[in-house]
A and B are shown apart, each in its own frame.
Chain A
Amino acid sequence: MNNQMPSTDDRPALITVNDLTLAFGPRVIQHDVSFQVKRGSIFAVMGGSGCGKSTLLKSMIGLLRPTGGTYKVEKDDYWAGDDASRIRIGRRFGVLFQSGALWSSMTVGENVALPMQMFTKLEAPVIRRLVELKLGLVGMLHAIDQYPSELSGGMRKRAGLARAMSLDPDILFFDEPSAGLDPITSARLDDLILNLRDGLGATIIIVSHELSSLFHIADDGIFLDAEQKTAIAHGSPTWLRDHCDDPMVHAFMHREQLDSSSSHGNG
């Protein structure tokens, strides 16, 4: 079956996941998931709702220990090390959570500044400048002194993105970045993600099922299936759309119902 995009990319792998198995107690969410993320790529984790995309992301950012397999960032095995090594590797991560996850007792500006205050020796005016810059990049400079509760969902997400970039991480994880955003904001966010990759050389891992956005930005990815509980296809969203012949992936990429013969009739 044609479900593996032929690799033409000779960039070194930044993240290597091997036979990762994720489970909550006895309930296996995904098993034997393997993939590589190349440095500087935008990697999409795709799949239907409830297939374990976010769970995979959780284990990659250190919130859920996998029950099997390895997860390496360059040479470092993330889950094999102790807490200190995980924190050290984790400093390279920036995470945009699904609904922003801003700290509600702080203003937007303080949210972005906190990691810099905690982890760098920068002086307050420099931090202020960098905070302004990061909020400026996501178009949120006007909200620097507002509290998260005063913001709309899309604004929270953009502020969350600015916070994820706070320490200039080289690996960014986005959980559903464009869910709940209007098309214009969503397109702007896509461009921003591309610019961040090109400008700062960040490697970006996106969990999403917004097809239009994925076709636009992602250059590699995997497709997780809820039934088989593992990755059933590897490749960029465009390649999966055009070449993958797995019925599940085909239906997903073309927004069809799985039983396509009946769905065409209903229009």
Chain B
Amino acid sequence: MNTSVNDAPQWHLQPEANRTLVTLSGDWIAQDGRVPDFPQSALKDIPPNEPVEFSTEHLGKWDTSLISFLWELMRDAREAHVELRIDTLPESAHKLLDLLPENPPQPPPPARHAFAPVAAVGQFTLDTLNEVGCVSEMGADAARGGIATALGRGMMRTVDLMSDLNAAGPAALLIVGVVNFLVGAILAFVGSVELHKFAADIYVASLVAIAMVREMSAVMTAIIMAGRTGGAYAARISTMQGNEEIDALQVFGIPVSNYLILPSVLALAFTMPLLYLYGCLIGMLGGFCVSYIMLHVSPLGYFHETLGALPLDQFTFGFIKSFVFGSFIGLTSCRIGLKAGRSAADVGIAATKAVVVGIVGVIALDAVFAVIANVIGI
């Protein structure tokens, strides 16, 4: 470190017979924060054909701040058509100046972002349709790959599927359990307040059961998995993109859809219905705990009421929903990872986007399912 006190950098222009002398003195250290400016007007008075030379006898320590100053001086001299004898500088400074381009390039004009709402909406629509197409195509590819694998001709490794299954299934049990237990408990709380007025405490059981099985368990589990696994898929694939790992797969002719995407999507699509079932049971347990403690409902009564409230086709519907949610999260997050850029920042953007698209998409799909259920009367 430069702990010693340095002399301030100075320059001085002095006309002499047949030449102009620039005297440089002091220490030119950029980190000291003292880099002198060179006013362009200083070269105005120099008659043409008279060279500018340098005197560096009193020059102390210097670093790139001197070179920066001289570079600027060179540019100004060229504009003023003044000859600059840089060979009168110390040889090392002369060498560094030789490395520099004559003119810095002009920065490109900033891109204009005109306000064009119609074009923006149009572009957004086209992009969205394009994405829907791409995701559907990927889904079709994955389905074909799945069939091929089932027939023993696929290019998916069982070990990949197993590790993805483990990451999406058993490893998620705790968080899915905690969230669904609390959701069930909250439903029981809210329900008990109203139902108690009608002395219909026992119906808390059917309220919790129907809400969990029809909506809450499937949606909550899907949201958790979108944040947990979808984000991870997008981050992993976009990091692979940045390391050229995806390129390497393509060059070998290993289809990305089979090798990478299929196990991820299958893992989510298979584990999601199981997690849904688990979430339902844990949610009902949460509801029972609240009813038992607060409303003093008997365990047998709660169990009986729950069974009575739940026809089996409610479960079928929930299974279908969570299978679709799982496939949707898997496909979109893989697609977002594949489409991401190659830098570290892009990995973050891809992970964020995968989570947002996953959550919003799951809720939107759930709304569609609600309409369908209404129409077919489940």
Contacts and interface: CB of A to CB of B under 8 A. Distances in A.
B258 to A, nearest CB: 28
Given A88-B1, A119-B31, A130-B68, A141 B101 contact: yes
B96 interface: yes
Given A141-B104, A199-B96, A122 B63 contact: no
A137 B31 CA distance: 18
Interface stretch (B325-333, B337-345, B359-367): B337-345
A121 B29 CA distance: 12
A235 interface: no
B64 A136 contact: no
B343 A200 contact: no
B33 A120 contact: yes
A104 B30 contact: no
Nearest to B345: A105
B377 interface: no
Interface string A129-155: 110111011010110110111000000
Interface in A49-66: none
A104 B104 contact: no
B33 A122 contact: yes
Nearest to B100: A136
Contacts, number: 89
B96 A167 contact: no
B120 interface: no
Contacts of A104: 343-346
Interface string B115-153: 000000000000000000000000000000000000000
Contacts of B63: 168, 200
Nearest to B94: A199
Given A129-B72, A136-B101, A168 B96 contact: no
B92 interface: yes
A165 B64 contact: yes
B338 to A, nearest CB: 16
B95 interface: yes
A137 B343 contact: no
Nearest to A120: B31
Contact of B71 (A133, A147, A199): A133
A256 interface: no
Interface string A185-206: 0000000100110111000000
Contact of A122 (B35, B344, B345): B35
A145 B96 CA distance: 23
B99 A136 contact: yes
B48 interface: no
A144 B108 CA distance: 11
Contacts of A139: 99, 101
B30 A168 contact: yes
A126 interface: yes
Given A122-B30, A133-B71, A168-B30, A195 B95 contact: yes
A144 B105 CA distance: 9
B253 interface: no
A129 B67 CA distance: 10
A229 interface: no
Nearest to A195: B95
Given A104-B345, A130-B65, A198-B95, A168 B31 contact: yes
B1 A130 contact: no
A142 B105 contact: yes
A35 to B, nearest CB: 24
A92 interface: yes
A241 interface: no
A136 to B, nearest CB: 4
Nearest to B99: A137
B170 interface: no
A147 B343 contact: yes
A91 interface: yes
B99 to A, nearest CB: 5
Contacts of A134: 64
Interface in B166-208: none
A33 B344 CA distance: 36
Given A119-B31, A129-B68, A168-B63, A137 B96 contact: yes
A195 B99 CA distance: 9
B39 interface: no
A45 to B, nearest CB: 25
A92 B343 CA distance: 29
Contacts of B93: 199
Interface in B83-102: 91-93, 95-96, 99-101
Interface of B: 1, 29-31, 33, 35, 63-65, 67-68, 71-72, 91-93, 95-96, 99-101, 104-105, 107-108, 341-346
Interface of A: 88, 91-92, 103-105, 116, 119-122, 126, 129-130, 132-134, 136-137, 139, 141-142, 144-145, 147-149, 165, 167-168, 192, 195-196, 198-200
